[in-house]
Amino acid sequence: MRSMKNRAVKKRIWSAWLVMSALLVGAAFEVPMVLGQVPYEAPPKPGEVPDTAVPPSAKPLDEEEAKRAEALLPLLEGKQEFWAMGEFVHLGPPAAPVLVKALKMPSPRIRYNAIETLLMLKEASVAPALVESAKDPNEIPRVREHALRVAVRLHPALVPPAIEAMAKDPNSSTRKTAAFEARYVRQKAVVPVLIGLISDEERFVSVTAINSLWMLTRHESEVHDWETSSKQDRVEWTQEWLDWWKEAQGTFELPEPRRPRKPH
């Protein structure tokens, strides 16, 4: 008897639970959901951080600093090379003549890192030494190409002789570098050099040269499929540029470089 009563109680509890569940589910569907916006507070602006960097020196090196700079040259190769480059940057442009000496040292790694450090110093007076390195046929291609790139950025007006020399090099990578960097040299002397590279044996050198010519001169030449061209095609198309330059070189002026558009 008692068990029957227990079962009846449990049944009533279970029924009540089902009814409550149904009511809650129904309420969830009937009551519309309201989205609220939490107020946004912008994070505080960072305070000004004081510049604790020591600016490079502009004074000529004294005797002790000159000896220190000389001692740094061998360290431009090896585990301490980045530290040595930083020390030269700290010494500033007055250390540039010491770095130029590194261009004649036996290690190509030292020569390359010296060129990279000269770029960081932004000292235009070293451009003639870099041009000589770029012209040197006995220098390895990687160092020659880097010397040309840095010379173009420091003093582009001095670079045409280096571009002309590198355009005749047997190494196709060196010729391509000459063709590419020539687009940043606003001197008429590089135009015939680039025209000569249009008929290069390597298509990628030719394509680089024609792109530089278009950027430098904006001459509207005939449209050709340079990407799939043969050597014979490029020889024929070179003549079009030679004919144009023969007529235009006396009066032609390089147009001003295009400035990038400002974003709206």
Q: What is the pLDDT of residues 83-140, one digit of tens each?
A: 999 999 999 999 999 999 999 999 999 999 999 999 999 999 999 999 999 999 999 9
Which contacts of 114-119 are long-range, i.e. CB under 8 A and separated by 24 or more positions? 114/73, 114/76, 115/143, 115/146, 115/147, 115/150, 116/85, 116/146, 116/150, 117/76, 117/85, 117/88, 117/89, 118/150, 118/154, 119/150, 119/153, 119/154
**Dist. CA 79–CA 77, nearest whole Å:** 7
Q: To 5 degrees, how large is the angle CA 215–CA 217–CA 222? A: 90
Residue 122 gets the label, from left (phi > 0), alpha (psi -120 to 50) or beta, of left
Q: What is the pLDDT of residue 43?
A: 63
36-59: pLDDT as tens digits: 555 656 666 666 655 555 566 667
The reported pTM is 0.74
Please report, rounded to a whole number, the percentage of residues in the chain having pLDDT higher than 70.
74
Computed over every residue of the chain, the mean pLDDT equals: 83
Q: Where are the domains of the chain?
A: 56-122
Question: pLDDT (tens digit, 9 = 90+) per residue, 7-35?
Answer: 555 555 555 555 565 555 555 445 555 55
3-state secondary structure of 235: helix
Euclidean distance between CA atoms 111 and 130, whole angstroms: 11
